[in-house]
Amino acid sequence: MISNRRQGSMSSFKSMVTLAATALLIFAACAGAQRETPQTEVDGPIVSEGDDLDREFSDEEVMAFAAAYPEVTAIQQDYQSRIEHADDAERQQLNAESRVKSEETMAEHGISPEEYNAIAIQMRDDDELRGRVQSAMRQMEQQRIEETEQQLENQ
């Protein structure tokens, strides 16, 4: 007989797995939509016209991007909704805050804003790169699930 605490943990785990699967589906949908409406920064990408947008990215760069992407996207979505309801002066301030927070998040994951944006832009038209990023995100999610399972078993 499974204890109530164990059942609650399993229910919580199932909820987390469902949430993770939903996040992956959202990412896949966003990746497809990103082809039509690219937005890697609230106030525009850092990559300039002359940058090499057709380069090979290392596995480390792809993993760093995949780790930072959900957090950066959440920051940008939060600020975008706030910017829509702000006056011009406040918009500038919110754009600056968004950029700083996004760049800090990128740095925490070991990727520069230039690398992050180059990957985001190139992913729109590069199926192989997009697949590598999605694979990296699935791998990280699987690792989180396994760590959660391990934590539940240790309780």
Mean pLDDT of the chain: 77
Q: Give dist(CA 118, CA 113) in Å, integer.
A: 8
Q: Is the dihedral of CA 45, 47, 137, 109 positive or negative?
A: negative
Residue that wins the pLDDT comparison between 128 and 4: 128
Structure confidence at residue 54 as a pLDDT band (50, 70, 90):
confident
**Lowest-confidence region among 26-40, 73-87, 92-106:** 26-40
- Please name the residues in contact with 52: beta carbons below 8 A apart, sequence gap of 6 or more: 118
Return the HEC string of 44-87: CCCCCCCCCCCCCCCHHHHHHHHHHHHHHHHHHHHHHHHHHCCC
Q: Would you say residue 55 has pLDDT above 90?
A: no
Question: How many CB atoms neighbour CB 83 within 10 A?
Answer: 19
Q: What is the pLDDT of residues 103-122, one digit of tens each?
A: 999 999 999 999 999 999 99
Q: What percent of the chain has pLDDT over 90?
A: 61
Distance of CA 131 to the CA centre of its chain: 14
User: Which band of pLDDT confidence, cut at 50, 70 and 90, is reported for residue 51?
Assistant: low
Q: What is the pTM of this model?
A: 0.65
* pLDDT level of residue 143 (50, 70, 90 thresholds): very high
Report residue 115: phi and psi, to 5°.
Answer: -65, -45
Residue 31 has pLDDT above 60, yes or no: no
